[in-house]
Structure 1
């Protein structure tokens, strides 16, 4: 049965053309390429009763903890298959679990799509809420030294809000 489930997972990953590693039997480390969050490394781990899904989202926020965690909890209410959770030091993960009987290629595709969507679409807001001062300091350091090769996460020309004000030059709006 376990090898059948591993085959189901492998065929779902192949159909989605995703790169992955198999560090041990029953465990798959999948790379989900994003746009805002460049990659979300996601574990699929077969247990005796369930398939566990776990993906690192971001480290513990530096600031604005209450609003950061309130925002995560509000997001959890509308999510399918996975939810935001904290580890013992406060780093944030997307985690989920489905029964072994529910492991199908379609459900694997759906769950990985959810992980990618939630990680990618939520990343910039998480950075704005929990890391604004760090981003601001780094951006100012880059500008001061002429090392502006791109823009740090959540900083875009013309963007309104706290971090958008860091972008040198005129807004296109």
Structure 2
């Protein structure tokens, strides 16, 4: 399957799945996956000569507890399908994967995108707790002192009590 055929297949599958996406260049799709713990996860699907490359930003480099965050990521990698956690050159956390072109189809794309969403959205609060606890405490205190909304910090109240 050449890149053009693959791009057509991917576009058709994404439409059938009802996934929000746009094609940036031939064979490059930016998919927006809606979340629960985070509003959305942006995921790139890029057709290459031999593989479909998958990449999603999860969160920025942790402010603290690097060892705890990296331990969590490595242990989590053992349970992920088709993608794994990786760090970019500045330390931000991404999910990365490669799928053989012969395996690309509706079921496999659904599985991969489901895994990206489950990991990025499901692990998000844990990563924030592990790597940004002090920042969360400061933000909570700042908002409390000023009477600002704490709605999006409710999941982290146990860090300040």
TM-score, with structure 1 as normaliser: 0.88
Structure 1 range deviating more: 11-20 or 73-82? 11-20
Displacement of 1:154 in angstroms is 3.6
> In structure 2, the residue corresponding to 1:118 is in which secondary structure?
helix
TM-score, with structure 2 as normaliser: 0.95
- Number of residue pairs the alignment of both structures matches: 160
Displacement of 1:21 in angstroms is 1.5
Query: What does the per-residue CA deviation read over 1:101-153, in whole Å, with 9 as the maximum and x for residues that have no partner?
Result: 11111111110000000111100000000000111101111010011251327
| Alignment-derived partner of residue 73 in structure 2 | 72
Query: What does the per-residue CA deviation read over 1:58-86, in whole Å, with 9 as the maximum and x for residues that have no partner?
Result: 00000011011011100001110001000
1:61 to 2:62 alignment: yes
Instruction: Give the Cα–Cα distance (whole angstroms) in 2 for the partners of residues 164 and 108 of structure 1.
Output: 40
Segments of 5+ residues of structure 1 without an aligned counterpart are 166-173
| Alignment-derived partner of residue 128 in structure 1 | 129
| Alignment-derived partner of residue 171 in structure 1 | none
Instruction: Give the Cα–Cα distance (whole angstroms) in 1 for the partners of residues 15 and 100 of structure 2.
Output: 22
Q: Report matched runs for 1:93-104 at 5 Å.
A: 93-104=94-105
| Alignment-derived partner of residue 45 in structure 1 | 46
CA-based RMSD of the aligned residues comes to 1.3
Q: Is the 8 A contact 1:51 1:100 kept in 2?
A: yes
Segments of 5+ residues of structure 2 without an aligned counterpart are none
| Shift in CA distance, 164/149, structure 1 to aligned 2, threshold 3 Å | closer
| Shift in CA distance, 26/106, structure 1 to aligned 2, threshold 3 Å | same
Q: Report matched runs for 1:20-169 at 5 Å.
A: 20-152=21-153, 154-155=155-156, 161=158, 163=159, 165=161
Q: Is the 8 A contact 2:77 2:84 kept in 1?
A: yes
Q: Is the 8 A contact 1:54 1:96 kept in 2?
A: yes
**Which runs of at least 4 in structure 1 moved beyond 2 Å after TM superposition?**
151-154
| Alignment-derived partner of residue 16 in structure 1 | 17
Displacement of 1:164 in angstroms is 5.6
